[in-house]
Structures are given as structure tokens and as C-alpha cells.
A and B are shown apart, each in its own frame.
Chain A
């Protein structure tokens, strides 16, 4: 009786609250109900969504028919539009090539990471089975979120003809933050984290995490990292180095191992952040701000998720001509970016043809040139026809670029996305806001 009388008013209150909410949120109430109904329908919803249905239907067609269907269509590609070199490659090289070869109009629009997930969720809640974007630039935790929310169409990656050249023996390409892509995303490029320094200002830069620590302490106010994605990758790399390497964190998220690694990293940081720029009381918002501070001589190191950014930015005049990329011998995190097709893609055939062309030797070679983008290839270049092999070998021309074998030797894979999420959150709480 006591239990009953205690629970009934609470249930009534909850109903009242819900009724109020429905009243307040009437216009979106319908949307919410639509989404909830969709959830209940489960598989039904997936098959109603255009992209997922098309990818499944195209699976039984020969590739030539896919190409034929894609002719004369438009592919809207949601991607990060924050880098002029990447935009120039996409709009100035890829788009004309696709138009000429396949009669496809490529439209690149802005949207990356969590924004992609938000946009697709809202589209689904609005009851749209056919969205706007047919192709997405994704990796890591975005891939994890999209898969968890079942927003991707597939599998499609294995059936792309150029997929046969992909370097699937590389742990960094075959697995995305330890997740099996399972054909729901197709590799596009690889990048490796690197510090950037000026060889005139810093003739003998630190080469290990231990040397970096000594350098920071000896040069107070001249080092920092941003509070965004690149900064988190730097911190994660240091965490690997201080905890016996990436193997410690491999094999899925483990909170005990994470907490031990985090505590070691935080103890290290507590020793060096007082020697950071502005004594570690504030952090630059993003990599663009890092480059600005570095170019203006306020700090002596910038950083980038792409080892070639030092060279591309120097060629553009954004960074001084004497900059170099720096790879620490403890290892630097490398990862692969992919393209995926949303479950609501209006043009799955076009998206697959674009994804395939992105893997072609010519598109991969063009993208890898440091005066274009400097994005690492995902192809196993030794499997390519000889003329392509020679062209890729000739890429290692710029003396400022880190030699490919050095990169490979010190490349370390990403671990489960949860490490990234937790570390970023805990770092913000502990170091950015100076809490306990």
C-alpha cells in the first residue's frame, strides 16, 4: 500500500509534465513522435530510407550499371571546408574530373564530425527518408556515432573496383579507431600527427617526449596546444608514450587502464603546464589560432594532425619558409579518414562512383602532392602498375617533409573512440578550468 501510494502521484506528475511538454513543444511533438515510431519500426525504417535501400539494390548490379545510373546526377558531399588547399583540390580538381569522366556534378558543402550526426538525426526526426547529402567525410568517433544511430548505408566499400589497391595490411587503414569499417566507410587518406617548429628559431628541437618536457621547462611560455581535436590527439600521444605505448590501450576501452594512463599524463602535465604559454591558464581555441601564435613568434611550436601541413602552409606563406614537421620518437598518432554514404542518401549510385574515383591512383596521387594537399595515400603503392609506382615514389621531393619511412616507423594507431572522448572531457575539467 505504501509502495502504491508513493508511486502513483509520481507517475501522475510525470504524466502531467509530459502533457505540458507536448503542449509547449507541439510543433516538434509530431516530429518526436515520428522519430519514436521510427525507432519502434526498427528495420522497417532502414529499408524505407533511400540510401540504404539503394545501396542494397545496387549490390546485385554490375559496376558498369552503377556508373551508368550515376551519369548526369549530382552528388552532395558533406565535408570539412576549413582548409583552402583541400577545398581547392575538391572544387578545382576532383569536381571537373568527375564531370568529365562520369558526368557527375560534385557539390561539396560544409559539415563535419558531430555536426554531421546532428544534421542527419534532425533529418530523420523530420521524417525524411531522402536527405540532402549522398557522401560524408568521416572517421573515428563520428563513424562510431553514425553506426550507433544506424545512419550509414552499406556495406559498399568492398565492391568499389579501386578498393583492390587499398593497403588493407596497414593496421592504420584497416581499422578506424579500432573499429572494423565492415564496408560502411571507404578509406580516403591517412595523416599523422606532427609538431611544427621553425628550424631557424629552434635549431635542435626535442626528439622525444622526455626531451620535449625538458625543452618546455627550459623555455617557459613558448609551448602550448589547442583545446580542440589536434590538442586532444597530442595529449593522447603523450599518454601512450608515458604508459608503455599504444599496446596498453589497445583492445577496446577499459576504464581502469584509461584512468591509470590519464593519471600518469595529468601528473606529467601538472609539472609542465606552469611553463606553458600564459602559464597554461588559457589555451588557443583551434589549430588556426596555434598557427597564428606560432607565425607571430608568441610560441615556438605549432601542431597539426597532418604531417605535411608544415610544408603546405609554408608554401602558401601562412608559416615561415624555414618550418619543419617534427615526429617524436616515442611515436605519433596516425589515422585514416574515410567516406561514408548516409542511410538517407538521395544518390547512392553517384556517391559510390565518387568514392571509387577518390581511391583511383590519379586522385590519390594528386591529393598527396604537398603543393596540393599533402594527404597521405591509402593505396598499397607497390601493388600499382609501374608508372603509378614511380609517380608515388617521386613525391618525397620536398626536403621539409618528413621522409615516408620515418613516418611509418613512428606511426601509432588510434585506440577506441571512448579514450578520446574521456580524455578530452577530463582534460577540460582538470586543466582547462583548473579544477581538482
Chain B
């Protein structure tokens, strides 16, 4: 075997290694085999976790906010890429949030959207509200509005770059053919450009979603205490004074891994069947 052929295997091992080792350790810890507070093989941690309403509220809420944040960012990226894709200034302006750390983005959201934030103060100044409590709650709110908006704002430039790259590198002859066959602009978009764009962007969209499912810094500044995001619930278990609950933290992180893995597998299946269909 040549070194050129071996290189990808090494890369895969380096990339997958930490996940396998970490996942393996977490699995062992969630089953009471290793770690602080472990006391021999047990599935009680998993059973308790899977039976708890708290877990599923957290999972559902996390998937919803991460999903909504991804969808908003994706929609905005596609809109801007189509509308202002050619304008250099628009691209550069849109990329500003890309350079900002997530925690800074969350702080900005807090200062802007909080009940004593900039928008609230502005509303007070023009006499719309009399006090902070009258301003609609958008941080620490059970609906996760502030967190979702912060997610979308932070992930938008990444998806925008991706959308521009996909649009720039697409095969324009397909669109020209559609036009010459009598399709109007919206039909061409719906039947030709959009499927190309979506297929090209799907991996990036999944990566953004997976990242948001595990996001902690933004959640800790903006999320409510009920439901608690999966990342915060995991951290709470990881630092619980009761050592016997460490296993639950490992189980929760595996659950998060599982959720995003499902999406990756679905994507792989869909692209595989797509490729098969066209062949």
C-alpha cells in the first residue's frame, strides 16, 4: 500500500479517534464502570434518564431552538446570496458576525434584547413601556426567542459563505437549458437552482445544526432554566455535588451525539440514494 493511499486512513483515525475514545469512556462511565462515583455495572443511570420527563423536555427544546436557529440562518443566507451575492460590500458586511466569538455574540444579544437592554430602553424612552417587566421577555424565556435569534445571527455568515460558494460553482447550463425549454424565473429557481443549492449546502447545514445542539456559551447567557438546554443539563449533572450523578452527564452527552449522528446518517442515506437514482 502506498503512503498516498494510507494517508486518508490516518486522517480518519486522527479525526475519529478522539470521538471513539471519548465516546467509549462516556459509555463506560454511564454504565458505572469508570469515573467518579462509579460503583460497578448498572443500567439504572440510563433507565432513569430515559424515563425522566426533564430529559425529553430538554432534548425537544434543544432540537427546536437549534433547528429554528439553523433554519433562520439558512433562509437568510440563501436570500442574501441570491440577492446580494455579487456585491462585495454586502458580502463583507454580512461576514462581521463570523469573526465574533459565540460568547460575545450572546452578550450582544443580552444587551440588545434583555428586558433592561437597548431595545427595552429605547421603548421606554419613547414611552411605549413603563418598566423593564413590560418589555417582552426574549432572554431566559421559555420560548428561547433570544437564543434562537442569536444562533441564527451567529451562524448566518458561515452559511452565507457556503451558499455563495455553491452558487458560484454551479453548472449554469442546467438553468439555461430550463430557460430555453420555457421555464420562467421562479420555475427555474424552484426546479433547478434550489435543488442544486440545497444539495450543496446540506453538509454545512447539518454541521451548523449539530454545533447548535451542543452549544453551551450562548445557552448559559440566554437560555431559560426550564426547559434547560441539553448542554446545560449535561454540565449540571457533571458538576452535581452528588458524585453518583456523574454517569448521567456522560449518558446525556452520548444522547446528544446520537441525535446529531442520526441526522448525519439520514443525510448519507439520502445522498447515496440520490446518487444511485441518477446513475
Contact = CB atoms under 8 A, between A and B. Distances in A.
Interface of A: 14, 17-18, 21, 24-29, 31-32, 35, 113-115, 117-118, 121-122, 125, 141-142, 145, 148-149, 221, 227, 278, 281-285, 293, 296-298, 417, 420-421, 424-425, 429, 432-435
Contact of A432 (B35, B141, B226, B238): B226
Contact of B36 (A21, A121, A293): A121
A29 B224 CA distance: 38
B174 interface: no
Given A32-B34, A297-B116, A433-B54, A282 B141 contact: yes
B116 A114 contact: no
B24 A28 contact: yes
B33 A298 contact: no
A28 B28 contact: yes
A117 B243 contact: yes
Interface string B4-35: 00000000000000001101110110010111
B21 A28 contact: yes
A32 B33 contact: yes
B132 interface: yes
A321 B140 CA distance: 27
B186 to A, nearest CB: 44
Which of B20, B25, B31 has the most CB atoms of chain A within a 10 A radius of its CB? B25
> What are the 5 A-B residue pairs with the smallest beta carbon separation, nearest first?
A25-B24, A296-B116, A114-B239, A141-B241, A121-B36
B53 interface: yes
Given A117-B36, A117-B243, A296-B132, A227 B238 contact: no
Nearest to A277: B133
Given A221-B133, A296-B116, A433-B226, A145 B28 contact: no
B226 A285 contact: no
29 contacts: A14-B41, A18-B41, A24-B20, A24-B24, A24-B27, A25-B27, A25-B28, A26-B24, A27-B25, A28-B34, A113-B241, A117-B243, A118-B35, A121-B36, A125-B35, A142-B241, A221-B133, A281-B224, A282-B141, A282-B226, A293-B116, A296-B116, A298-B114, A298-B115, A298-B116, A298-B132, A425-B242, A433-B53, A435-B53
B142 interface: yes
- Chain B interface size, as a band, is 35 or more
A26 B28 CA distance: 10
A281 B53 CA distance: 17
B240 to A, nearest CB: 6
A114 B33 contact: no
Nearest to A26: B24
Contacts, number: 113
Contacts of B227: 433
B225 interface: yes
B33 A145 contact: no
A104 B114 CA distance: 46
Contacts of A142: 241
Given A14-B41, A114-B241, A227-B225, A296 B114 contact: yes
Contacts of A227: 225
A278 B241 contact: no
B238 A21 contact: no
Interface string B134-159: 00010011100000000000000000
Interface in B34-72: 34-36, 41, 53-54, 57
Contacts of A221: 133
Contacts of B114: 296, 298
Contact of B142 (A31, A117, A281, A421): A281
A141 B25 CA distance: 25
B33 A21 contact: yes
A297 B220 CA distance: 21
Contacts of B23: 24
Nearest to A295: B116
Given A31-B34, A114-B241, A278 B116 contact: no
Contacts of B53: 433, 435
B241 A420 contact: yes
Contact of A421 (B41, B133, B226, B241): B241
Contacts of A28: 21, 24-25, 28, 34
Given A114-B240, A421-B241, 19 more contacts: A21-B27, A21-B31, A113-B239, A114-B243, A118-B35, A121-B35, A121-B36, A125-B35, A142-B241, A145-B36, A145-B241, A148-B243, A149-B243, A221-B133, A282-B225, A284-B140, A285-B220, A296-B132, A424-B241
B37 to A, nearest CB: 8
Contacts of B27: 21, 24-25
Contacts of B240: 114, 421, 425
Nearest to B243: A145
A94 to B, nearest CB: 26
B253 to A, nearest CB: 13
Contacts of A145: 36, 241, 243
Contacts of B239: 113-115, 118
Nearest to A296: B116
B225 A283 contact: yes
Nearest to B121: A296
Contacts of A296: 114, 116, 132
Contacts of A149: 36, 243
Contacts of A21: 27-28, 31, 33
Given A141-B241, A283-B225, A118 B34 contact: no
Which of A31, A122, A285, A421 has the most CB atoms of chain B within a 10 A radius of its CB? A285
Contacts of B228: 432
Which of A21, A115, A227, A282 has the most CB atoms of chain B within a 10 A radius of its CB? A282
Given A28-B34, A32-B28, A434 B137 contact: no
Given A14-B41, A35-B34, A121-B36, A278 B243 contact: no
Given A24-B27, A296-B116, A298-B133, A118 B238 contact: yes
B224 A282 contact: yes
A391 B133 CA distance: 46
Contacts of B141: 282
A253 to B, nearest CB: 12
